[in-house]
Chains A and B, each alone.
Chain A
Amino acid sequence: MTACNLKKLVLGIVGVATLTLSVAQSAEAKDWAPDAPVSFVLHTKPGGGVDVFSRTLAKELEPIIGQSIVVVNAPGGGGATQMAKLRVAKPDGLTLGVNTVTHLTGMKTNLRGTFSPEDFEWIALAQIDPIMFFVAKDSKLNSITDLVELAKANGGEVNIAGFGPVGSMQNIGMAMLEKAAGVKFNWVAHQSTPDIIAAVLGGHMDVGVSNLGPTLSFFEAGRLKGLGVLGDKRLASLPDMQTFGEQGYNVDTSWLQIRGVFGPKGMPMELQQQIADAIHKAMASDSYQTYARAAGVQDSDYGPKEYSAFIKQMSSVAEEQLKAAGIIE
């Protein structure tokens, strides 16, 4: 599947309307009915975006499957602790994990040779969350074009504060823009999104990178301005901010932050489909929808087939970008 087709696919399937459709179709198949409590193993500490997503989803999923769901936080090793737990679990659907793009970039860098996408089953994609570039209200930058001009004038001395080290999901997003615009920026790694927001508000960094959710209230308070979003279309909550593409910078818009569910290798396809259907059904609930809209994320209804293909595509984009950036051989 080429990137271009995939883009169309994402465009076509994202949205709440399709969700309800898929739920309607799946009612004919047998529903997922585990015979014991299910564990959701996370790679992050409690309280972050992944944790809130998992707990909100679990709450809605419990009545659907008739079992309680235990959220297990297993931080450490950039996902290694969690993936180790998952890899040795029985493929019976009682132990599942939540993954992000970090898992994929990790498998290409630090955890190369330790874990690979083939070690797991990729069951369902739940959220996609484009990244965007933003500045403080009083910044003289108003668009990606301004940013590129500034970088050209300063020989790359524009500080971009983003999450994670060189080779992280957001850093690769920045590298894509560098390539498309033919400029260099200065990546300054941060360890949490609130740190990034604080650094931009305090005038210590020129530009910040983030997903929409954590920055939304700062936009509403008029303290931040958006420069551009790396995605196919504009964000519903910030309709004035143009995409990179609209401003003439063509980057691979399938490079999105994702939150999905994966499990140990060897789970039967039928079981995977049942789990995916149950997850998407839970996502259609009012309380999940309220949370997801407030968090500024977009829903996805990818089941095991589409999600596995999507992961393959993402991995190859990551590989390509990491090579281009000289991070891996």
Chain B
Amino acid sequence: MLESLAIGFSAFGDPMVWIALVFGALAGYLIGAIPGLGPSLGVALLIPFTYGMDPVVSIVGLVALYAAAEYGGAITAILINSPGTAAAVATSWDGYPLTKQGRTGEALTVSILSSGAGIFISTLFLILTAVPLSEFALRFGPGEYFALALVGLSLVAGLSEGSPLKGTVAMGIGLALATVGLDVQTGVPRFSMGNPEFYEGLPLVPVLLGLYALSEVLFMIEEGPSEKLKSTPIGGLLALPVKTILSLKKVILRSSVLGYAIGVIPGAGASIASFVSYAVSKRASKTPEKFGKGSLEGVASSEAANNSAVAGALAPLLALGIPGSPTTAIMVGALMVQGIQPGPLLFARSPEIPYTVFASLWVGVPVMVLVGLAGAKVWAHVANIPRPAVAAIVAGICFVGAYASHTTMFPVHVMTVFGVLGYVLRKLKFPLAPIVLALVLGEMMETSFRRALISNKGEWDIFYTSPMTVILILIAVLALVWPGVSLVRARRAKARSI
């Protein structure tokens, strides 16, 4: 193990590897920051450049880009309330309120430090547990996947602000939208209105851009030019009081472990990881009422988790050749072009690949954090731009980002429709997060539910005979019931105190 790690670190004796790492981190940071371009698109864009490179150099560049791009989504989430990825949605819940309070720099600094810490911690777990955990993840069958999706949905139901009824309706909207597209089992087009563009379902990035960013633009237009937000300039690189950072260490550690564990399960991914860890942090927090109004804990838990999920998603890829996320699925292609077949024999045949990945994740942390901290100082000034200009810039980003995601006009139309929908829903005080999460999880939930029944002669016992499924469903039920219970308790306590 240590010898192999030494092999991994020895790769960094080659200056080309350093160049790949720094370039990957910079490119990922920028790609993640542009809504519409996410980690998977970034990795895909980089693949053609990796052809002529040594396999080790190219994998270091790709992993650095993946990790940095998964962080970059937080920048726009915090600055303009438009999460670049579904995994950054939870970051925007507290990040954007912080910006409104003029604390952009603080939010960005916490987000990059949590992300860096998340990658560092989860990489340690990756090195120690990649193989056994990936083997364990194989036990997740269709029943377990359905239950897992249920946990994600029920947690977010408990998170949404405002009335539980509106949260439930929003989730229903999201689940309904998730059914658009070809039926996975029978191939029948659903709600496609005769247009093949809808066959593959609603494209997620344009929906996100519309619901969050374009609707924000509409609000800005409505409010008109107002007082400028004064953002408090941040001083040196480590301007945040050390005390603040140390106070977040528990949150970061817990979120990193959670994010990694959820990331290992193929298909669960960074978005579920960030939502679950946000929910858990909120329950565990001493000041849960701050969540959603600008809590640094909220930013830290979402960001530590979605970056830890990167290491998690790499575990089944390196240990078994089964990609844990859309981005790692693209990496399989990059490795195959190099003549390396990811699979159960990778550690035995090309140990330099997994161990270089481990080493580059660690070496990449300081690089990424420095880029992020330097960036935070620059971004903090965005809050000083007059609002009409911000509205125009964000609207431009929305249209370009939607177009870039598929290079056709279809996603642009989708984005526009959802922009108006997002505006109307927010006016009516409907939470948006349940819609997004239901859209992300809906497909996994439906396909695994049906797979479970189809593979079990249509019998329902598959959902209560596996211990893992039962435990997950119980967690989901608890998460749904708990907010109600605590509400009743709080009211009783209030009644007594009067």
Contact = CB atoms under 8 A, between A and B. Distances in A.
B455 A159 contact: yes
A79 to B, nearest CB: 9
A22 interface: no
A194 B187 CA distance: 20
Nearest to A192: B329
Contacts of B321: 194, 217-218
Nearest to B141: A204
A167 B187 contact: yes
Given A77-B196, A77-B200, A202-B140, A52 B184 contact: no
A110 B406 contact: no
Most buried by A among B43, B187, B322: B187
Nearest to B44: A46
B128 interface: no
Interface in A255-306: 290-291, 294-295
Contacts of B48: 55, 71
Contacts of B337: 52, 55-56, 291
Contacts of A51: 333
Interface stretch (A139-147, A174-182, A183-191, A246-254): A183-191
Interface in B145-198: 182-187, 189, 196-198
Q: Is the interface of A mostly helix, strand, loop or mixed?
A: mixed
Contacts of A72: 407
B322 A197 contact: yes
A188 B196 contact: no
A48 B330 CA distance: 7
A186 to B, nearest CB: 7
Nearest to A73: B44
A216 interface: yes
Contact of B455 (A168, A205, A216, A223): A205
B236 interface: no
A66 interface: no
A74 interface: yes
B447 A191 contact: yes
Contact of A52 (B336, B344, B455): B336
Interface in A49-106: 51-52, 55-56, 59, 71-78, 80-81
Contacts of B316: 198
B47 A202 contact: no
A165 B182 contact: yes
Contacts of A80: 196-197, 199
A154 B296 CA distance: 58
Contact of A195 (B199, B266, B455): B266
Given A47-B331, A295-B336, A188 B451 contact: yes
B341 A294 contact: yes
B286 interface: no
B292 interface: no
B83 to A, nearest CB: 21
A78 B199 contact: yes
Interface string B328-350: 01111110110101111110000
Interface string B77-95: 0000000000000000000
Contact of B454 (A47, A75, A188, A201): A188
Contacts of A55: 47-48, 51, 337
A199 interface: yes
B102 interface: no
B187 A218 contact: no
Given A47-B329, A55-B48, A81 B197 contact: yes
B323 interface: yes
Contacts of B332: 47, 194
A291 B141 CA distance: 33
Contacts of A194: 266, 321-323, 329, 332
Contacts of B331: 47
Interface string A23-57: 00000000000000000000001111001100110
Interface in B80-128: none
A74 B185 CA distance: 23
Given A165-B184, A194-B321, A46 B140 contact: no
A291 B336 contact: yes
The 5 lowest CB-CB distance pairs between A and B, nearest first, are A217-B343, A47-B330, A46-B44, A165-B187, A77-B196
10 contacts: A52-B333, A56-B337, A72-B407, A81-B197, A165-B184, A167-B187, A190-B451, A191-B447, A218-B321, A294-B341
Given A188-B451, A205-B455, 19 more contacts: A46-B44, A52-B336, A73-B44, A74-B407, A110-B182, A159-B455, A164-B187, A165-B184, A168-B187, A189-B185, A191-B447, A194-B322, A202-B138, A204-B141, A216-B341, A216-B343, A217-B321, A291-B336, A327-B187
Interface of A: 45-48, 51-52, 55-56, 59, 71-78, 80-81, 109-111, 114, 157, 159, 164-168, 186, 188-192, 194-195, 197-199, 201-205, 216-218, 220-221, 223, 290-291, 294-295, 327
